[in-house]
A and B are shown apart, each in its own frame.
Chain A
Amino acid sequence: MLTTPVKLWRRQKKVATHIGRVGKILNWTIIRVPPKAFHHEAPYPVVIVEYENRERTIGQLVDFEEGDLKKGKRIVAILRRNFSGDSESVIAYHIKFKPYEKI
């Protein structure tokens, strides 16, 4: 299990504050040999991100084109689901990033 219901619940308020935050990519890699829980998503890029308030975090980059994988690319934090759990466990939602397009 990627997480337990209690951990998911305890973290929720903090995770909620990330959704919609804008930042930029500091560096990136592509995971080709994934851990168990992420098998079905591999290969996927992981990026270290710096938000506009200088806070940093790490997460998967999704919905991207090849040219988006570069230092300085602006991204926005979104919520996505991890589908790997068995059909009985609680569903894990967590923060990922996608390229940010200003209107």
Chain B
Amino acid sequence: MRVNVLGVSTTEFGELWEKSPRALARQAIQGALNDATISSNQIDALFVGNMLSGILGNQANLGSFFAEELGVPVPSYRLEAACASGGVALNAAINSILAGQYETVLVLGIEKMTDSSQDDVTSGLMAAGSDEERMAGVTFPGIYALMAQAYIDEFAVSEETLATISVKNHYHGSLNDKAQFRKTITVEDVMESGKIADPLKLLDCSPISDGASAVIISAKKKGKKPVYITASEVASDTLSLHDRSSFTSISSVVRASKKAYKKAGIKPEEIDIAEIHDCFSIAEAIAVEDLGFSKKGQGAKDIAEGKMTLGKGKVITNPSGGLKACGHPVGATGIKQIVEITQQLRGETDSRQVKNAKIGLTHNVGGSGAIAAIHILRN
């Protein structure tokens, strides 16, 4: 498969009090159009990835809402898959191109979270879980904490080892001018931060953020060597964590990535860079194992040893700073991951450039693993 990436853009991520959803969308859309050097009337369709707009802001009908910011009343669709809304929207957009329905499509991932109270956000995010989980009073940090506990028990990994994941991502984020957090942190900082849901602490958890990212994809090529998407796979699993076959592996990720590797004709060892869905530090430890970068139980240890750190590692994970340091406006993350990998593959990422990056992967997960979207890109 070959779907070309014509243009990418992301807003900065953070507490963007002054930027409304419309303003964020305009910024990302315009940025992508500029990057692609095309105009809005060359866009055949708009796909939007967003989770919380209806839940927090009572605004649905987002296809039309954001088509207004594109400025052209194109066919427009909103997809929701919790924190994988961006990845799933992209997958649907790709499928529409492969089906021959559209030629050039803009995919927008966007989330505005800071207009609501932390309470409302914590409760709103639980829409990604099940009723049983909501009635139990568990939160997303709690659900991932349950996975962390199982992982720590099963593989005899310490909380300090898990903490190195946030440390690595903050280091990468410090080199990214779009990141929400640009300060480095230490393992002590993580260990001393307050507990949110035992054993996860504040600095094990990604923040509440605003942001928008956009990518323009096309069946057409533009330029001499465009980055292209060579695999796009989505897989699902049970909604509740307790109904899954394992607490220390996300099967939807294993299945989607296996399919993606097969369709791209590559093996995990050939991946140079990967944007991983580190909503919590434990998520990245499990992800690098599920994606085949590390052996089972070795993920956190490999990261602690620097095997995935910029400048040192073999496969660099979360060069953008990941969800932890770059920020996690949930619907935008899946698209931001595409922006980062694209820019890396083009050689445009300055101080956080991974040299000679040829093949990249994005890993976007909804809820505690209910849905996964995996993309593979090449230059």
Q: Which listed segment binds A: B80-88, B91-99, B117-125, B349-357?
A: B117-125
| Of B136, B150, B195, the contact of A32 (CB 8 Å cutoff) | B195
Interface size class of B (residues with CB under 8 A): 20 to 34
Nearest CB in chain B to that of A59: its residue: B136
Instruction: Enumerate A43-78 residues with CB–CB distance to B below 8 Å.
Output: 44, 46, 48-49, 56-60, 71
Q: A32-B197, A36-B123 are in contact. Are A41 and B137 (CB under 8 A)?
A: yes
Question: At the interface, yes or no: B240 with Cβ under 8 Å from chain A?
Answer: yes
Judging by beta carbons under 8 Å apart, are B138 and A31 in contact?
yes
Judging by beta carbons under 8 Å apart, are B195 and A58 in contact? no
Query: A residues within 8 A CB of B242?
Result: 26, 48-49, 56-58
A94 to B135, CA, bound (A): 7
Chain B residues with Cβ below 8 Å from A89 are: none
Q: Tell me, yes or no, whether A37 is within 8 Å of chain B by CB.
A: yes
If the complex has contacts A46-B136, A58-B132, are A33 and B141 also in contact, measured as CB distance less than 8 A? yes
Known: A29-B142, A46-B142, A48-B241. A35 touches B137 (CB 8 A): yes
Q: Are A33 and B197 in contact (CB under 8 A)?
A: yes
Is B204's CB within 8 Å of the partner chain A? Answer: no
Nearest to A45 among chain B residues (CB) is B198
What A residues does B136 contact at CB under 8 A? 46, 58-60
Residue of B119, B153, B200 with highest tally of chain A CB at under 10 A? B119
Instruction: Answer whether A30 and B153 are a contact pair too, CB < 8 Å, given A35-B122, A48-B241.
Output: no
Q: Bits for B225-248, please: 1 = Cβ < 8 Å to A, else 0.
A: 000000000000000111100010
In the complex, chain A residues whose CB is within 8 Å of the CB of B150: 26-27
Taking a contact as CB atoms under 8 Å apart, the answer to whether A34 and B139 are in contact is: yes
Residues in chain A near residue B199, CB distance under 8 A: 29
* Smallest CB gap from A38: residue in B: B137
Classify the secondary structure of A's interface with B: strand
Docked CA distance A3–B119 (Å): 17
Q: State the Cβ distance, B13 to closest chain A Cβ, in Å.
A: 21
What distance in Å separates the Cβ of A72 from its nearest Cβ neighbour in chain B?
Answer: 11
How many angstroms from the CA of A30 to the CA of B195 in the assembled complex?
Answer: 9
Asked whether B149 lies within 8 Å of A30 as measured between CB atoms, the reply is: no
For residue B152, which residue of chain A has the nearest CB?
A: A27
Interface residues in A1-49 by Cβ distance below 8 A to B read: 2-3, 26-39, 41, 44, 46, 48-49
Q: Smallest distance from the beta carbon of A38 to chain B beta carbons, Å?
A: 4
Structural contact, B149 and A58, CB atoms closer than 8 A:
no
Taking CB atoms, residues of chain A closer than 8 Å to B5 are none
Instruction: Check: B28 CB closer than 8 A to any chain A CB.
Output: no
- The docked-state distance in angstroms from the alpha carbon of A76 to that of B126 is 26
B264 close to A (CB within 8 Å): no
Q: Once the chains are docked, how many angstroms separate the CA of A22 from the CA of B133? A: 19
The residues of B that contact A60 with a CB separation of less than 8 Å are 136-137
> Which residues on B sit within 8 Å (CB–CB) of A49?
242
Min CB distance B45 to A, Å, is 37
Bound-state Cα–Cα, A26 to B154, Å: 12
Contact with A along B127-151 (1 / 0, CB 8 A): 0000011111111011001100110
- Give the 7 A-B residue pairs with the shortest CB-CB distance, closest first: A29-B145, A38-B137, A35-B123, A30-B198, A56-B242, A46-B138, A58-B136
